Structure 1
Amino acid sequence: MTITSFVQNGILFIRLAGDLIGSPDTDLLLKSVNDHLGETLNFCAVDLSEVRYINSTGIGVLVSLLTKFRSRGGEMVLINPADHPKKMLALTKLNNIFAIATDEAAARQQLIPAVQ
């Protein structure tokens, strides 16, 4: 799995590609987010459009990240989950918990009112 991230307008954007199924990838994702949280970021958008497969460990990491941002008074949005992640979110009913945006611009719009 590849993880790329950047900060723009107070929002941490993370792009994931490949399979989100456990260590070491989930550890790297958590470390990347924790490194950015030192910058007092409270808002995050995770692009799942190129995630082919996600299992319960991957879902658990997303829930963990959501909890981390919400406990800081922030929010997290998932961007355009691919077919398998979308099915897993629906199966676990987490599609009712996570905010989901169609693209980066829509995610930014959902988070910007919270940022200001």
Structure 2
Amino acid sequence: MKFQTETIEDILVLRIEGDLIGQDSGPALMELLNDKIESGLTSCAVNISGVRYMNSSGLGVLMTILTKFRNAEGEVALAGPSESVQKLLIITKLNSIFTIKPDERQAVDYLKSL
């Protein structure tokens, strides 16, 4: 898993690529997110269009991200899940917990409107 961040109009955009399986980069990602929340960012668009595969640990990473931002009175939107990731979100019923948008721009626009 590789990730990068960018701030667009007070919205943190987190782009994740590769396999989201909760591997070694998870703690580094959580530390980065904690720093961003402490700096005042409370909304996060998570672009998962580059995620090829996700397992239960990867779902746990997404749930941790959501929990961190909601605890900071913010929100998270997922952007661009592949068909297989979308199916996984539906099977696990996480599609009812996450806001899912077709692309990054729509996720950012949604978060700006809150």
Please give the range of the TM-score, normalised by the shorter of the 2 chains. Answer: over 0.9
CA RMSD across the alignment = 1.1
C-alpha distance 66-92 of structure 1, shift in aligned 2 (>3 A): same
Q: How many residue pairs end up in the alignment?
A: 114
How far off its partner does 1:105 sit? 1.7
Alignment of 1:39-78 (within 5 A): 39-78=39-78
Query: In 1, distance between residues paired with 2:22 and 2:100?
Result: 22
* Percent of residue pairs bearing the same amino acid type: 42
Query: In 1, distance between residues paired with 2:35 and 2:73?
Result: 18
Alignment of 1:1-116 (within 5 A): 1-114=1-114
Q: Quick check: 2:18–2:52 contact (8 Å CA) kept in 1? A: yes
User: Once superposed, which parts of structure 1, at least 4 consecutive aligned residues long, lie more than 4 Å away?
Assistant: none
Greater Cα shift, 91-100 or 77-86: 77-86
Query: In 2, distance between residues paired with 1:38 and 1:72?
Result: 9
Q: TM (normalized to structure 1)?
A: 0.92
In structure 1, runs of 5+ residues without a counterpart are none
1:72 alignment partner AA? A
How far off its partner does 1:103 sit? 1.3
Q: TM (normalized to structure 2)?
A: 0.93
Query: In 2, distance between residues paired with 1:44 and 1:92?
Result: 22
In structure 2, runs of 5+ residues without a counterpart are none
Query: In 2, distance between residues paired with 1:107 and 1:6?
Result: 14
How far off its partner does 1:28 sit? 2.4
How far off its partner does 1:109 sit? 1.6
